[in-house]
Structure 1
Amino acid sequence: MTTHTEPWPAGTPCWVDLMASDLGRTQDFYRDVLGWDFSESQPEYGGYCNALLGDRPVAGLSPTMEGMEDAPHVWTVYLATEDIAAHAARAAGAGATPVYEPMQVEPFGWMGMWADPTGAAFGLWQAGEHTGFTAFGEPGAVVWCDLMTADPARARQFYAAVFGYDYQDIGDEGMPYALFTVPGGQRPAGGFGGPDPESPDAPPAWSVVFQVSDVDAAAQRVREAGGSIHREPFDFEFGRMTVAAGPDREVFVLMTPAEDM
């Protein structure tokens, strides 16, 4: 069990959330698939609630905002910052386009959202009382986040300029992929890759990977709960994984890491 209660280092994926067309249905789905409980939906914050493992936040859910009914439902990945104004300025200087300018969510922190130069949306989160996910790298929690884009070189340049990422290439010519580490980090914080040979026309996007103890059993739970499997479970160097979609067709990955990770 991994519990992290302090603010995450700048540039580290620290939170994920999703807007749902039917909040109750989506809660039921992830409760069945990942074993989540939920905090009370808060009307003063647009109906937002935290998904919980025990009492530890792992993700956020909210009803779809008014005026965004036709927007695609996607998991949003937030990168940590200790100074959202400074990182927003760096992002703009490096070619990002603002989606939502920074705003305070009292007393929890500050948030904003941008599109990077490849077109992938990402959020920034400056912690207040809410430091991001406190459970990480265990069944039911986020274990990995990465960016898949047709222009990974441009993405690498952008995020290095904003956050000072270092990279370690582990892919090949057919599937470029690099791990990134934040300044002072002791382990990779995520990855950049693409384009995916099986989805060459997929739009650039950050994606979230949730850990499970048994990928095949989790894939079956997805189907039984009303979701779908986009890619059947398969083995790779770092474990076993499957690509799934939830009630609003939001895509996510389920993974059982290799025992030696």
Structure 2
Amino acid sequence: MPKHESINYLEFASRDLNESKSFFNTVFGWSFTDYGPDYTAFSLSNLDGGFFSSEQVKTADQGAPLTVFYSAKLDETLNKVRQAGGRITRDIFDFPGGRRFHFKEPGGNEMAVWSE
């Protein structure tokens, strides 16, 4: 049962559902369930969500929320993102509390990965 008043589900726009699915499967090990040609869902241990087909995808610099992943091996994750077709939009940098990088996945979403 979902926790009362917690974030329960996230949906992301994608310009290419198949590329987004392949990317997140390769980098993060996600699996998907398709619901028709324009929607696919994922279920993680702590969050459920999906991707819907859309030509318009917003980025953080346009005011969209920034999804941030955690990695214990930041350099290794950066290489996996590149190898899976992600585009690094901000290389690894230091911030108070750790290091992180930003990337765009093939469907157009900008996200980030951080580490201590």
Q: TM-score, normalised by structure 2?
A: 0.79
Shift of 1:241: 1.1
4+ runs deviating over 6 angstroms: none
Name stretches of at least 5 consecutive residues in structure 2 with no aligned partner: none
Q: TM-score, normalised by structure 1?
A: 0.39
Shift of 1:15: 3.2
Counterpart contact for 1:231–1:244, Cα < 8 Å: yes
- Taking the aligned partners of 2:20 and 2:111, their CA distance within structure 1 comes to 13
Q: Which residue of 2 aligns with 1:26?
A: 20
Equivalent runs, 1:1-261 vs 2, <5 Å: 5-9=1-5, 13-38=7-32, 40-43=33-36, 47-53=38-44, 57-64=47-54, 69=55, 71=56, 73-74=57-58, 202-256=61-115, 258=116
Superposition CA RMSD, Å: 2.5
Name stretches of at least 5 consecutive residues in structure 1 with no aligned partner: 76-147, 149-201
Determine which structure has more spread, i.e. the larger CA radius of gyration: 1
SS in 2 for 1:206: coil
Write the deviation string for residues 15-45 of structure 1: whole angstroms up to 9, x where unpaired.
322122221211000111222111x2113xx
Aligned in 2, Cα 1:7/1:56: closer, same or farther, shift over 3 Å?
closer
Counterpart contact for 1:17–1:60, Cα < 8 Å: yes
- Taking the aligned partners of 2:76 and 2:18, their CA distance within structure 1 comes to 23
Aligned pairs, number: 116
Give the % identical residues.
24
Query: What one-letter code is carried by the residue in structure 2 that aligns with 1:42?
Result: Y
